[in-house]
A and B are shown apart, each in its own frame.
Chain A
Amino acid sequence: MGIFADTFDLIAGLPAIVGLILTAAAIFLTSDWRLSLTSLLLQYVLVGLTLTRFIQAELAVVKILVGVLIVSMLFLSARHVRDDDDAQETSTDDMQFLGMHVGWRAGPLGLPLRILTLIMVFVAAIHFFDDYRTLLPILDGGNAAVPADIAFVSMWLAAMGLMGLVISGDPVRVAPAVLTTLTAFELVYALLEPDLAVVGFVAALMLMAALALAYLITVRGLGERRTREASRAGVLPPAMSMAIASDEEGGQG
């Protein structure tokens, strides 16, 4: 039992923090929805593990379960509409690495540009970390209310999530990005706000947000499918094709 507890404590420390940094990076880099959602699931598990250092284990488990439900909803929607697309993409697209399109023209930003962005965000995160910590609350005794590792990883998750939002308008990419940003906040807020009512409403909001995003993924996918069928039949409605094209190009305003 003692060995199990020690191992658990060990994983909840540095490995979980490193894991969170990597999952956020994976969500940002990949254009494969399966890899993106798997990373999101892992992210929720790691957040739960990390939070066991600060809050009751039961609450952390609830957060993990909420994450599992969120990813399930998104997965079902994405699978429903994306299987056809994937079949088409594999026949026409350029080289891939671990589901990530390596070509310069893959998605709104190809992998090389995404890696460049990632490096720039990492450098910026290190540069502005001290400034960011001054924005976080300080307890009456003068100690920081949020430990340095949690502060850094929350900043990283938020930055990755926001960058993901900026460069993509596709709901399949937007959903993990916005949920990563919210997770960043949850990581810090769970340390500050012990009120169970707030914790419950935050969980409800996360679930409802995932439901709404899953709905948008489905609608968008069905729209694309209809456009494809119409273009095959030679009766493409111009307004629809333009709207879908602009959805893909534009990030979040």
Chain B
Amino acid sequence: MNPLPGPILLLVMPLLAAGVTYFVRRIALLAAFIASATAGLAAFLCLRLPLDRSAFVLGQEVAFGRPVVILGQTLQLHAAGQLWLAFIFALAVLFYLLAWRVSQGRSFFPFSLAIIALYVLVILLESFSLQVLVYAISVTLAVFIVQGGQLASVRGAQRYLVVSLLAVPLLLAAAWLVDPAGSSLQDADALRRVLLPAALGFGLLLGAFPFGTWMPALAADTLPIVTAFVFTAGQAMALYLTLIFLQDNSFIMSNGITQDVIQLAGLVMAVAGGVMAAVQRGFGRLFGYAAMSDMGVLLLALAAAGSQSLTLVLLHLVSRGVIITLVAAALAILRHRATTDSFDELEGVARRLPLVTTGLALGTLALAGFPLTAGFPIRWAVYRAVSGEQELWFLLLLASSAGIVIGLLRGLNAMLGTRLRDDVARQPRLASFLVVALAILVIVLGLVPQLFLEPVSRAAQALALF
């Protein structure tokens, strides 16, 4: 019997689960179980199965690294993609468990699984142009869970869609220009022609300044776990495309202008996000701006941290995933119980929801890079790298962190009021347990940042930009 090719397995599993969860979407327990079991199994397979030989899974021989040709396209799993998928599937498990207890809309399970199947396809495809197109298709599908039938506002979903769609032409143009079959890069002018669409395209895709306004809008309008899905898995895929493009075209990253542009975009994004976070009047928008600021730090890590930059970026991506999931989980329970996240209407809620309040505070502090949290080690490394060149930048980044903390303190000040809130139901046990578990993980990652260093180093080696 022929071994089962890994690409087929990875594509079929989430697609099949998407179909099944669609039919059982009204039974949250069953849908969540199927979705999280599928994602968990896929994450396990990605972490454990070797690419260079076959292995047996439940009596079935699986050749994980074997390429498959479908409709003329070769689909193959590479080392970096394998770890990337493990990360995304692992995050999905957390989202599905949370969505079981705090509803994120019935379409969340089937649509997010279909989106993950498209992410798998992005990683398996070899042509960058096709990768970009499939990613954009995944964004169009994400609109349905981002909006989730809510009638109040379409701003977040619409901005996310439009920004992602506008990135497609730019990235396809950049891909065509660097394609040796299509044209030749013989002089500085030709190089500049590639840099312009590539910088704009990836800037749009990653939500870099000034294209990141969809992030706070999305966080304010959308259900928190869905927001976390977009901020973590979605943006991780956008980053994957960026890194793949840079890996294939190493001359771009070795150009000084590129590094300067990324650094400046990261700095402005981090500072703007931090400053705006300080003046928000609701936890949703505060979350959006804090996540935007954090993405800026990630860009800074990519350009400013020298030979270790890729490892730092990937470590930051992992800790960002955990932190954002924590904030989203706490925010989801808060909105579910208090029916709002506006500071004005949260007086006294902390007494009714102490664990949720703690989780929200810890997560937001971690997004600000507060010491002893998962956000601190990477931020500190980036701050140190930046301070070597520009002291002003260091101060600006500190101000950005302070902005997020100020925004949080304003929210906490409202929540810690003395008013009795009998109208707010007590916190749900299981969901609160998940919040506590995530909070512990955030602290552990702050104390032992090298926890995920081994797989991250393997991924960095596979991507090897420098």
Residues of A at the B interface (CB closer than 8 Å) are 134-135, 137-140, 145, 165, 169, 171, 174, 178, 181-182, 184-185, 189, 192-193, 195, 197-198, 201-202, 204-205, 208-209, 211-213, 215-216, 219-220, 222-223, 226, 239-240, 243-244, 246-247, 250, 252-253
Contacts and interface: CB of A to CB of B under 8 A. Distances in A.
Interface of B: 71-73, 127, 129-130, 133-134, 136-137, 140-141, 143-144, 147, 149-155, 157-159, 161-163, 165-166, 168-169, 172-173, 176-177, 182-184, 189, 193, 196, 210-211, 213-214, 217, 221
Contact of A223 (B71, B72, B152, B162): B152
Given A137-B183, A189-B172, A201-B133, A216 B154 contact: yes
13 contacts: A135-B193, A137-B183, A137-B193, A174-B158, A185-B172, A193-B176, A198-B133, A202-B133, A215-B144, A216-B161, A219-B149, A240-B152, A247-B153
Contacts of B150: 219
A145 B133 CA distance: 23
* Main SS at interface, chain A: helix
A197 B130 contact: yes
Given A198-B133, A219-B150, A253 B214 contact: yes
Given A205-B140, A212-B143, A137 B151 contact: no
Contacts of A226: 151
Nearest to A222: B151
A219 B154 contact: yes
A252 B167 CA distance: 14
A201 B144 CA distance: 20
A137 B183 CA distance: 7
A181 B162 CA distance: 10
* Main SS at interface, chain B: helix
B378 to A, nearest CB: 27
Contacts of A135: 193, 196
A205 B71 CA distance: 18
Contacts of A211: 140
Given A135-B193, A209-B140, A216-B143, A171 B159 contact: no
A250 B210 CA distance: 15
B155 A178 contact: no
Contacts of A212: 140-141, 143-144, 161
A185 to B, nearest CB: 3
B154 A171 contact: yes
